[in-house]
Amino acid sequence: MNFFAFDIRKALIIVIVIALPLLSINMKRNPDEDPWYKKPFSAAVSLIQGGYSTFTSGVRGTTSLYLKLIGIKKANLALQKENEELRAQLGALTELKLENERLTKLLDFKRSTSMELLAAKVIARDLSLDHASIRINRGTRHGLKKLQGVITVEGVVGYVWKTETDSSQVVVLTDRSAAIDALVQRTRARGLVSGKNLTTCRLRYLERADDVAPGDMIVTSGLNGYFPKGFPIGKLTSVRKTDFGISQEAELQPVVNPANLEEVFVVLNSGQEDFSDRFGSSDFGPPLLSKANPLPEGNGEAKPESQDKPGEGR
Amino acid sequence: MKERLLLATNLSLFTLAALVLGSLQTALWFQIFGYFPGPALWIPCLIHVALHRSTLEAAVFAYLCAFVLSTMTAMPEGILMIVNLALVLSTQLFKRRFYWESSSYLMLTCGLAAFLFNIYHWAATFILSDHPLTSPAIMDWLIEALLTPLAAPPLFPLFVWIDKITGREPTTDVTAHIS
């Protein structure tokens, strides 16, 4: 019965297939909105494309960050190195500045006095923990002799004890075996300063009737000629007078901190210089006393209520 | 004759070692750490000799050591000699009572010796000195006693080497454990 002997069903399918795009082209549609049957696809596409976009931007970002990190790491290493170099330079410059300040202070002091002084550097400390001595880089070749006084701008350090050709051992006044003739600045009472422990000293052989009180300044007597007269040694912190006996004993805090010694002066010739009138003035005076421990009013007036109390003050 | 020469060389080298180590302790440590207490570097030297020599040899070395070290301290030479001798005798007594072959033994002995040195010195000042030590720096003693054993192990191979080149082999095998 099939007149043309072909499959009508196939032909119909072909027609539909061809007609569909034509129908789609010629269909009137709303330009602002997708038809309803396209919406799920659009949404899906949007979702997938968004996902891809996020993924690629993430990958791109991570890659970029990684590449940047390599650069940052290199830059960081370079900056760290530069920082270390600058820190080292800064440390060296600070050290130089401090040294310069110290040396300027020493030079000013040396210029302002008629004493014959020799600057020396501390090169070693005592072998024993319970003795206070230092070694300086000046010896007999530089004119050093036993018992010559050793001072800093602040006050007395000690005296030369053993001399070698190029170095000398100095007993610091905080050593138990040290002995320096001293005066109480206010009352001129005389005693002997020696070490008690590594930070404090004691003033011995004061007469019982001597007027001494905590806060009094102790200065060198200048009698032996090894130290100038009136040069600061320390400040009394306590006075001990027992119920019997002929003397009294006092403790003092040295104006020089033996733990901070770097440069010192050896008094080659004290020139009979008297610091009694200069001590405490504005142009010269131990910073420790003038700033940290200012003298009591009236140049260290006695505080009688503190006297005669054994073991007081420390 | 040769034996005596070797003994003299050995003691001289140990004395030199004590001098160098003492200088290191007083100058180098001081330049870096200031007045903070450091290890008593010369003590391992004395302890090595005390552990591996006869009492007489160790006593001679204790005096030689005191002679050299007295140039670095305000401590009277006589007191330093007595303290060193007491240290040598204490070490030998300790060795007779307690002994085991280990580096820890050497470190322990050095630490104890560093602390005992200060105790003996403290006692000696009361008996023999006009200026007794009334305010001992006990914290500093402890720090020194803790630091000295740490510095000791690197030094013992040097002492063994000195013994070896001067033909004075240790009487016991204590130091071989370290080297």
Cβ of residue B25 closer than 8 Å to a chain A Cβ: yes
Closest CA to A133 of B134, B73, B27: B73
Give me the mean pLDDT over the B88-105 stretch.
Answer: 88
* Domains in chain B: ranges and CATH: 2-177 (1.10.1760)
Give me the mean pLDDT over the A146-164 stretch.
Answer: 92
Give me the mean pLDDT over the B88-111 stretch.
Answer: 89
Residue A220 has what pLDDT? 92
Cβ of residue B126 closer than 8 Å to a chain A Cβ: no
Q: A295 to chain B nearest CA, in Å?
A: 28
Answer whether residue A268 shows pLDDT above 70. Answer: yes
Residue B174 has what pLDDT? 47
Query: Dihedral of CA B25/B27/B32/B33: which sign?
Result: positive
For residues A106 and B105, the model is more confident at B105
What would the pLDDT profile of B110-124 be if each residue is shown by its tens digit?
999 999 999 999 999
Q: Are A126 and B134 a contacting pair at CB < 8 A?
A: no
First to last CA, chain B: 30
Lowest mean pLDDT among A116-130, A171-185, A190-204, B164-178: B164-178
Contact A137, A213 (CB under 8 A): no
Query: At B170, is the pLDDT very low, low, confident or very high (cuts 50, 70, 90)?
Result: low
Exposed / middle / buried, residue B177 (Cβ in 10 Å: 0-12, 13-18, 19+): middle
What would the pLDDT profile of A23-79 be if each residue is shown by its tens digit?
766 666 666 666 777 677 778 777 887 887 888 888 888 888 888 888 888 889 999
* Domains in chain A: ranges and CATH: 116-306 (2.40.10.340)
Share of chain A above pLDDT 70, in %: 82
Query: At A296, is the pLDDT very low, low, confident or very high (cuts 50, 70, 90)?
Result: very low
Residue from the list B31, B74, B144 with its beta carbon closest to the beta carbon of A126: B74
Cβ of residue A162 closer than 8 Å to a chain B Cβ: yes
Contact A303, A249 (CB under 8 A): no
SS3 A136: strand
Answer whether residue B145 shows pLDDT above 90. Answer: yes
For residues A308 and B44, the model is more confident at B44
The residue type of A231 is: F
Strand A156-163, strand A168-172: pairing = antiparallel
What would the pLDDT profile of B43-55 be if each residue is shown by its tens digit?
999 999 999 888 8
Q: Which residues of A touch B75 (CB under 8 A)?
A: 126-128, 130-131
Strand A133-136, strand A168-172: pairing = antiparallel
What would the pLDDT profile of A16-29 be if each residue is shown by its tens digit?
888 877 776 666 66
Answer whether residue B31 shows pLDDT above 50. Answer: yes
Query: At A150, is the pLDDT very low, low, confident or very high (cuts 50, 70, 90)?
Result: very high
Mean predicted lDDT score pLDDT of chain A = 80
Residue B29 has what pLDDT? 85
Query: At A105, is the pLDDT very low, low, confident or very high (cuts 50, 70, 90)?
Result: confident
For residues B86 and A63, the model is more confident at B86
What would the pLDDT profile of A248-258 be if each residue is shown by its tens digit?
889 999 999 88
Q: Which residues of A touch B118 (CB under 8 A)?
A: 129-130
Closest CA to B95 of B120, B119, B113: B113
Cβ of residue A131 closer than 8 Å to a chain B Cβ: yes
Q: Are A162 and B71 a contacting pair at CB < 8 A?
A: yes
Q: Which residues of B touch A176 (CB under 8 A)?
A: 125, 129, 131-133
Q: Would the pTM count as exceeding 0.90?
A: no
Answer whether residue A281 shows pLDDT above 50. Answer: no
Distance set, CA A131 to CA A173, A187, B81 (Å)? 10, 31, 16
Residue B89 has what pLDDT? 94
Residue B15 has what pLDDT? 92
What one-character-per-residue DSSP string does A157-209 give? EEEEEEE-SS-EEEEETTSTT--EEEEETTT--EEEEEESSSS-EEEEEEETT
Give me the mean pLDDT over the B58-72 stretch.
Answer: 91
Cβ of residue A160 closer than 8 Å to a chain B Cβ: no
Can you tell me the distance from the alpha carbon of B77 to that of B87, in angstroms, rounded to the nearest whole number? 15
Residue B106 has what pLDDT? 86
Identify from B30, B69, B79 which residue to disrupt to test chain A contact, counting A C-beta atoms within 10 A and taking the largest count. Answer: B30
Q: B85 to chain A nearest CA, in Å?
A: 16
Cβ of residue B32 closer than 8 Å to a chain A Cβ: no
Residue A288 has what pLDDT? 37
Lowest mean pLDDT among A47-56, A154-163, B18-27: A47-56
Answer whether residue A109 shows pLDDT above 70. Answer: yes
SS3 B126: helix
